[in-house]
Structure 1
Amino acid sequence: MGNDATAERPDETQGAALVCMPERGNSRGTPAAVPDGTTFNLDRLGSWGARDRFEVDRARTIAYAAATNDPIRQHLDGVYAPPVFAVVPITVMMADAAMSVVPDDLMLRILHGKHDFRFHRPIEPGELLEVRARPVGIEGKSSGVVVTSHIETYSVRGGDLVNEQYFVGFFRGGRFDGARGEPSPAHSFEENLRDREPDFVTDQTFDADQTFRYARAAGDPMPIHLVDEFAKAMGLPGIIIHGLCTIAFVSHALITRISPDDPTRLKRLAVRLSSPAFPGQTITTATWAAGHRDGRDRYAFETSSDSDRFVIQDGLAEFEPAIDKETT
């Protein structure tokens, strides 16, 4: 499930953790046969699933900030939800969209491979959100099948698009020839950045009870994060940190260094989850300024653990430029 940080670049299909499992629906679509006899429901690609609504409770956004050791005052005070809280309203929906395409025998083999957040504005406590999801692409890899899903979150009152997310699920052991639909959004690390030292490096340490606090705040009770015996039965040395908890840690590591006074400047956060982290571990995020594109400041980053493994690779963050108050 992971690769040494000092090793060759790992297969991009590797994931960090199992995904919260939804109930399986009955809408399966028209199957497409592949060489090994399994079937994929390709007519689900591009089709939106049922909408759902989510009321944003201020106490829960504050609890999420606390559960991810978020130091940002606007998050701890409940002014804004932390950026990665955006996944809470759609956790089950994003996995269900991916699994609507694959055969039933692959359902329990899903790993969280990549995640790409596009923040149009922050989520505000007290608002009512409406969410929807659709699978948009599938691609066969040497070690499994990748399914990309697109999720949108809207404000019910204002009707505006609050955020978009691309969830890339990797199904271990599946077989599919070629690719259909849309590829997952690109955010590969630019290797020439390694010609210089990172612009800043941030160390963070997970608490011993991190997974239990995160599970309660996020509503993600997967036993691989909570039950040691279950994690060991899955071939791990013990319970692992939720991949999204790791992403949340990295989000506030970036914000506190780049835009500590205004967390809403973060407009995109994209990662590839490479291997799991564990309670008590220290992670180190190395960040490089990567230029300016489409009106945004870009930063590339990688996160490794103290066991010399990458936990996040191909990291990309985009921030709105800071406003110079003296010139406005």
Structure 2
Amino acid sequence: MAINYDTLMSLKAEGQEFSYGDRETMLYALGIGFGRDPMDEKELPFVYEKNLKTVPTLATVIAWGAGAIGDSGINYAMVVHGEQKLKLYKPLPVAAKITTDSRVVGAWDKGEGKGAIIVTETNIAEKGGDKLCTLTSTIFARGDGGFGGPREGAPAPHTLPDRAPDMSIDAQTLPDQALLYRLSGDRNPLHSDPEFAKAVGFPKPILHGLCTYGTCCRAIISDVLNYDPTQITGFDVRFSAPVFPGDTVTVDVWKDKDVISFRARVKERDAVVINNGKCTLKG
């Protein structure tokens, strides 16, 4: 079924309810690499219920499956995650009942055989309480170009500074990391099933893009923010290449007042896997 532009732009889902507890908060932190050294007193609060802290990028999994993009008509076998943005209005609680309002906010036609760009927005609030965050997600539907939508006007990514990075942080992923991270919500077999991965063109299962996203956040929290995640009010990236479990992800960082710009590279292949990163801090 081909995309119908008017139908796509009308898609929304309001008042969906979800909940998460400290178990999910700790599992997510373990899935992006916190707690590798159980004796590290700075990392322990992310993976132990005593004085538990939340990682801001936890927001991407607490309402997994929210929205109505499944009714869009796109070919999901040809979809890749293009960009992820997060805006936080307050630090995430360690456990909460939440509601979500989701809608499609933009769609751009790259042309027949060139794919489509679709942007969705999800607002998450505590049930009966404060707004927590806004997630903006861009998908590249490789098989759905030529539907007649606008060609120009897609959002431009954050521009990295034109100077050498102020620092570079090595973040090691583990061979079993995708198997652990998938327990936070994304059960796509591309990240767990070797036969499925080969069938869609990969030599083996790849790490979730949002796991790499969280890994970058972990690196910035630990090496730039002295383990204080409450400083972060925004976290935006563009995905540019896959990571395989076990890769070393090197995060290049530029610090300019309340904006941390970053990109991530895989050392072994010299491939940029996340680009145009922007971590916004409290002013």
TM bracket, shorter-chain basis = 0.7 to 0.9
**In the alignment, structure 1 residue 151 sits paired with structure 2 residue 122:** yes
| Contact 1:133 1:151 survives alignment (8 Å) | yes
How do 1:65-214 and structure 2 match up within 5 A?
65-71=29-35, 72-78=43-49, 79-94=52-67, 96-97=68-69, 99-101=70-72, 103-104=73-74, 106-142=75-111, 143-157=114-128, 159-175=129-145, 176-179=147-150, 183-184=154-155, 186-190=156-160, 193-194=161-162, 196-214=163-181
Q: Secondary structure at the match of 2:92?
A: coil
2: CA distance, partners of 1:236 / 1:298: 35
Could you list the runs of 5+ residues in structure 1 that have no partner in the other structure? 1-36, 322-328
Aligned sequence identity (%): 26
Aligned counterpart in structure 2 of residue 309 of structure 1, from 271, 275, 282 = 271
**1:45-60 matched pairs, under 5 angstroms:** 45=9, 47-60=11-24
Task: Report the Cα offset of residue 262 of structure 1.
Answer: 2.1
Distance 1:77 1:224 in 2: 30
How many residue pairs align between the two structures?
270
Gaps of 5+ in 2: 36-42
CA distance in 1, matches of 2:100, 2:2: 31
Shift of 1:122: 2.0
Looking at structure 2, the residues matched to 205 and 43 of structure 1 have their Cα atoms a distance apart, in angstroms, of 43
Give 1:46 shift: 5.5
**TM-score, normalised with respect to structure 2:** 0.88
Residue 287 of structure 1 pairs with residue 220 of structure 2 = no
The AA in structure 1 aligned to 2:157 is H
Cα RMSD after superposing both structures: 2.2
Local SS of the residue matching 1:252: helix
SS at match of 1:231: helix
Give the drift of 1:203: 0.6
Q: Is the 8 A contact 2:101 2:123 kept in 1?
A: yes
User: Are the structure 2 counterparts of residues 177 and 48 from structure 1 closer, same or farther at C-alpha, using a change threshold of 3 Å?
Assistant: closer
**Could you say what secondary structure the match of 1:275 adopts?**
coil
Counterparts of 2:66 and 2:153 in 1: how far apart (Å)?
19
Supply the distance in 2 between the matched residues of 1:261 and 1:173 (Cα, whole angstroms).
42
Offset of 1:263 from its aligned partner?
0.8
Tell me by how many angstroms 1:88 deviates: 1.3
Deviation per residue, 1:105-146 (Å, 9 max, x gap): x23322111000111112212321111211110001252100
Question: Is the contact between residue 61 and residue 81 of structure 1 (CA under 8 Å) also seen in structure 2?
Answer: yes
In the aligned structure 1, how far is the partner of 2:262 from the partner of 2:4?
Answer: 35
Displacement of 1:83 = 1.4
CA contact (8 A) 1:116 1:269 kept: yes
**Does structure 1 retain, via aligned residues, the 8 Å contact 2:20–2:97?**
yes
Query: CA deviation digits over 1:196-220, x for unaligned, max 9?
Result: 321110011111110111111x121
After superposition, the Cα gap between the structure-2 partners of 1:262 and 1:46, relative to the gap in structure 1 and judged at 3 Å, is: farther
Aligned to 1:268: 234
Change (3 A) 1:165 1:180: farther
Shift of residue 42 of structure 1?
1.7
Preserved CA contact (<8 Å) 1:118 1:267: yes
Please report how far the alpha carbon of residue 163 of structure 1 lies from its aligned counterpart in structure 2 after TM superposition: 0.5
